[in-house]
Structure 1
Amino acid sequence: MSEDVIRPRPVVDTTLPEELREDLLREAVAPESRHARDDGQAASRALRLREGGVQLLGVGFTLVLALLTAGWYLGMVIVSIGLIAYVGALAVRKEADPLVRAVGGAIGAGAFAAAPLWLFDLLPQDPPGGVPWLLFGLLVGLVTADTLTAQVPETPEEHHRDRVLLPDDISAADHGLLVAVQQTIDRVTDARVELGSSDTLDTARGLSVLREQEWRIASLLARQRELRRGYVRRWQQASSPRVREVLRPQREHLTAVEGHIRARVDQIVEYGRLVDESVLAHREWEQCQEALAATDDYADLRAEASLMSLPSPEVADLADTAEVARRVRDDSVARVHAATTGLAELPEH
């Protein structure tokens, strides 16, 4: 039997809320989504860079047209609006770096505070022609810093990674133990469906206990895998028999742990066997009840059919009539036959 055949399912910590457990389990059984998300982080950063570039291109192109056609006044309006709008969007984005958000807020506040000075001609003279480009340079710096420092929000699956155990977290030699537990869970789940309202096994509680046992066993197997790897590494690197003698208690502990886990798994498997026998007995009881309920119909049919064993007066009368008719026809045939025979025996003249 190949390893894939007995590969266990991922196991999620039973102390987590049910909805979160289901989400984590779906994520765990679909590894391609994790790879897609890892690739998507780089793709999202590149997407933000492209979006920022498009925004800068739009503001810069509009700024150039404004400076060439209407002068610095319209250019200041355009670049100030673009800068303040980006700072406002930066303030509400959770993935933005706090330092970039603070610097952007200071720049936006400064641009907003300085706007009335040139907007209402409060300055003694027009600002230098390079001021719009200075604001545009600040906008370029903000967009670049935000793109490079923004963090991709952590998903619940990543946050609770230590609460999910994958098959690779457990030694392949121990997969069979976890599979035996999961097969028992599947049996109890099927039994709950089949028993329905007649669930005398309390399968709801049984499933709760089994899933808790599944998590505990999977956790022990995962820790055993790590400790076994450390033991094997130290054993292989041991420079003398005395070092290996010091390692002997570790091997004994690992052997005892495996025995304890196997004993619990055997107990769980035995429970699954008893559940199967209970379901079989329930199925037999249902079939017997169904057979007993239908027996009355068979008895009624037999009682009704038993009347057929008695002679029917109507059929007897029909038989007598048929017998009389037969005899009449036989007599007629006999007379015709006799007459025909007599004609044949007349002498010829």
Structure 2
Amino acid sequence: MDVVVDPEVPEEDARVLRESTGLLARIRNGWAPRRLSSRRLGLGSALIMGLMGFLAVCTLMIFIGLARTGPGLTILGFVGFIIFTAAFINQPVDAEDEEEAADREIYERARRHHGRYVLVDDLDESSARLLNRTRGAIRAITGAAVNADGLLDTASNAVTLRAQEWEIARLLAKLSSLRGEHRRTMAKNLAPEVAAIAEPLGRALEASENAVVRRVEALEGYAAHVAEAERAYQAHLQVEELRARLPKYEQLVAEAGATAVPELERLSDDAEALQRALGRTLESARDAFRYLDG
């Protein structure tokens, strides 16, 4: 199971949510941590424990012969009563174990950020495909060397792409939920007039999905521009590597007394042409990103 988290959620909370998808699914299905009773014994319970202490001390004193008179027995018993009452009134009870405490902490974070994360398993089939396309485009962009080497606006990419993934996932989650409700409604034996009223709702769902598809296609378009720039950049790096070795070839030709190879002389010109082509593809990618970011 996977989860998409709103990038505005604090990073530590987002990390916990991403690592707790199994528990998040249980929370979605109605699970909640058990209610804890009072963490301390009340005064009444403590007094009972104190009375038990009083009787225990009296019995012990009589047994060992330390209290042979009524007043002495009463004083020692009263001391025992005070000691036991003070001890038990602050006695912790019903403490959670570590696993319960961890689950409770996750539950509180999930409740605090309700509506700001999407479980991918909650998406219907069509929505899941669109989210996969979204993530594929994002991986292609962020994994490109032109992005890693800073030829694109890497910082803006990171922020904008995360925001795009979240917005698309959020819309797809709402679309999946409403579409499921609509399908269940339409599966009933509706009266003709009710079916007629429900038809525009179906068209609204289709229009909403088409709008999300356009978002995904815009992202894929940007990824295509980045891929083109990536090919030009890799070719540029390869030509630069060859050009760096050009003096060695020229030296070898001169030492051997051979005729200069014309292609070697054109290598620098080819590298410059490729550099200009790279500049054009990068600018094209930046234009696509500005459209996406807008």
Superposition TM-score, scaled by structure 2 size: 0.65
**Residues 19 and 302 from structure 1, CA distance in 2 versus in 1: closer, same or farther, beyond 3 angstroms?**
farther
Q: CA deviation at 1:26?
A: 2.5
**Kept after mapping to 1: 8 A contact 2:146/2:230:** yes
Q: After the TM superposition, which parts of structure 1 deviate over 4 Å for at least 4 consecutive aligned residues?
A: 32-35, 38-42, 58-65, 151-154
Deviation at 1:188, TM superposition (A): 2.0
User: Contact conserved, 1:24 with 1:157, CA < 8 A, in 2?
Assistant: yes
Amino acid at match of 2:138: I
Amino acid at match of 1:75: G
- Where does the alignment leave 5 or more consecutive residues of structure 1 unmatched? 1-6, 50-54, 90-142, 308-349
1:159-213 deviation per Cα after TM superposition (whole angstroms, max 9, x unaligned):
324211001221122211001111112122212xx34774221132123212212
Decide whether the 8 Å contact of 2:5 with 2:117 is kept in 1. Answer: yes
Q: CA deviation at 1:157?
A: 3.2
Question: Aligned residue for 1:256?
Answer: 207
Kindly indicate whether the alpha-carbon contact (under 8 Å) linking 1:238 and 1:244 is maintained by their aligned counterparts in 2: no
Counterpart-to-counterpart distance in 2, 1:231 and 1:222: 14
CA distance in 2 between partners of 1:32 and 1:196 (Å): 35
Q: Determine which of 36, 41, 60 is the counterpart of 1:69.
A: 60
- Structure-1 residue corresponding to 2:271: none
Q: Percent identity?
A: 26
Does the alignment pair 1:299 with 2:292?
A: no
Equivalent pair of 1:195/1:279 in contact (CA under 8 Å) = yes
| Cα separation, 2, equivalents of 1:60 and 1:282 | 85
Between structures 1 and 2, the one with greater helix share: 1
The CA distance in 2 between the partners of 1:68 and 1:232, in whole Å, is 76
Measure, in 2, the Cα distance between the counterparts of 1:196 and 1:185. Answer: 11
Aligned twin of 1:16: 9
Aligned position for 2:110:
157
8 Å contact kept, 2:57–2:80: yes
Alignment partner, residue 80 of structure 1:
85
Which residue does 2:153 correspond to in 1? 202
Which has more radius of gyration?
1
Q: Could you tell me which amino acid in structure 2 is paired with residue 157 of structure 1? A: A
Check whether the contact 1:10–1:165 (CA below 8 A) recurs between aligned residues: yes
Cα RMSD after superposing both structures = 3.8
List aligned pairs for 1:80-99, cutoff 5 A.
80-86=85-91
CA separation of 1:39 and 1:65: change in aligned 2, threshold 3 A:
farther
Hey, what does 2:135 align to over in structure 1? Answer: 182
Partner-residue secondary structure (3-state), 1:162: coil
- Aligned 1:199-348 pairs, distance under 5 A: 199-306=150-257
SS of equivalent to 2:7? coil
Q: How many residues end up aligned between the 2 structures? A: 228
The two structures have a TM-score, normalised by structure 1, of 0.55
Structure 1 counterpart of 2:122, from 153, 160, 169: 169
